[in-house]
A and B are shown apart, each in its own frame.
Chain A
Amino acid sequence: MIQLMELTVNGERHDLAIEPRRTLVDVLRHDLGLTGTHVGCEHGICGACTVLVDGAPARACLIFAAQVEGAEIRTVESLSPEGELNDLQQCFSEHHGLQCGFCTPGMLMLAEGYLAEEPEPTTEEIREVVASNLCRCTGYQTIVEAIDDCASRRRAAFQEQLAGSRV
């Protein structure tokens, strides 16, 4: 009952021969060695396994890998491929939006996907999105602040770019 499949993760194509019952999160972690994505509940509530599927945040524990053949999957490893933290990761650090770091990759991918779709969210909207995932350490406030700050910085950078292009 082994199935051949091809997955595209962080822009890289992988050939796999696996049981179809393997969930995407297990395949990412244990077949592809991308252990940045974590497993927290395996029933879609905690969000530790959140990755982007074609740009949208999704629970990797509720998807069989076979289902997302042909999709573009992005994991936390894609945020800082060269080791330099991106602006979102930097904001999490500055606001102390992580303690043990276990929920963090899921929170980052949730925020990354959300901000790409909605670059101008209100703080309340961010809070509602953060409520998608569980964190047991922070009390959430600093996670919301980090994402809010990142959104502001991205907007400011965009404005600056616009102003620059007008000159």
Chain B
Amino acid sequence: MKPAAFEYHRARSVAGAVGLLTELGDDAKVVAGGQSLVAMMNFRLARPEHLVDITHIDGLSGIRREGDTLRIGALTTHRAVEKAELGDFGVLSRAMRWVGHLPIRTRGTVGGSIAHADATAEWCLLAVLLEARIVAEGPAGRREIPAGEFFLGPFTTALEPDELIVELVFPRPAPRAALTEYADRKGDFALVAAAVDLDADRVVLGGVGPTPVSADCPSSGTSHSRPPVSWADAVAGSLELRDEPGISAHYRRGLVRTLVERACEEASCGC
């Protein structure tokens, strides 16, 4: 479990990183916290010939509130978000308790998690749930990609090989939102994860498809007193699931129902 050889490049600026990525092409891979990538490299499941280290770029980490918008730098660690006082964006901090364990959260980054695009990853769910925009910089400059269009498949995104995620923009507060998960062990990748935003009538699920899945919610409108159970049943019922080894569609659907219900409860009490 030793990685294959690669050439190491340290970027000092976003432009420098983009330059390296442009120059090195498909053989290059960006490393930030490395909490997923290095594990895959140790298994030799990933074997980039060039590794572009962006962790020494200044200014890519930090959380900024601008009016109703929250901007999170790509190199911000999960732990920094967990410890931050985010007020009506508190769902982000609370959700971080589901990300691996402390030593993973101290190194793993928001941008890295989004770029890795695991369909059960908390940041992917949160970005889709809260309709975040992913800010990427490439040779042609910056562009913003709506999270709903970013995740294309398992570990596949709309990011070009020469683009770097620099920031996540959350456009609106979500005071009544929550994320919850189920796995046999705490800290594992979720079997099913559910994130809800009661104010936006949105539910996003992980573990039910190749990307985070936005499920249909029944009524929208201003009534906040609707029983979450009906959401849970409706969402669970709307999914197309297949039996897989070790987990039937029926069980997965049951987990969805439970987790949506629990996420709704948590979201409505704001705890």
Contacts and interface: CB of A to CB of B under 8 A. Distances in A.
B75 to A, nearest CB: 12
Contacts of A10: none
A49 to B, nearest CB: 9
Given A56-B106, A131-B101, A132-B102, A62 B38 contact: yes
A108 B3 CA distance: 27
Interface in B72-93: 79
Given A47-B103, A129-B102, A66 B10 contact: yes
Nearest to B4: A21
A117 to B, nearest CB: 8
Q: Which of B34, B39, B42, B101 has the largest number of chain A CB atoms within 10 A?
A: B101
B102 A21 contact: no
B107 A43 contact: no
Interface string A124-156: 000011011100000000000000000000000
A50 interface: yes
A62 B43 CA distance: 12
Interface of A: 1, 3, 19-21, 23, 26, 42-44, 47, 50, 53, 56-59, 61-64, 66-67, 70, 110, 113-114, 128-129, 131-133
B107 A53 contact: yes
A21 B102 CA distance: 25
Given A23-B3, A67-B55, 15 more contacts: A19-B5, A42-B1, A42-B2, A42-B39, A43-B43, A44-B38, A53-B106, A56-B103, A58-B106, A58-B107, A59-B103, A62-B34, A62-B38, A63-B107, A64-B51
A124 B39 CA distance: 29
B8 interface: yes
B187 interface: yes
B102 A43 contact: no
Given A19-B5, A44-B35, A57 B102 contact: yes
A161 B7 CA distance: 52
B165 interface: no
A62 B3 CA distance: 11
22 contacts: A1-B5, A1-B7, A21-B6, A23-B2, A43-B39, A44-B35, A47-B101, A50-B103, A53-B107, A56-B107, A58-B106, A58-B107, A59-B103, A62-B107, A64-B34, A66-B10, A67-B31, A67-B53, A67-B55, A129-B102, A132-B101, A132-B103
Contact of A62 (B7, B39, B101): B39
A131 to B, nearest CB: 6
Contact of A57 (B6, B10, B31, B106): B106
Given A19-B5, A42-B42, A43-B42, A63 B51 contact: no
B186 interface: yes
B104 interface: yes
Contacts of A114: 102
Contacts of B6: 20-21
Contacts of B42: 23, 42-43, 61-62
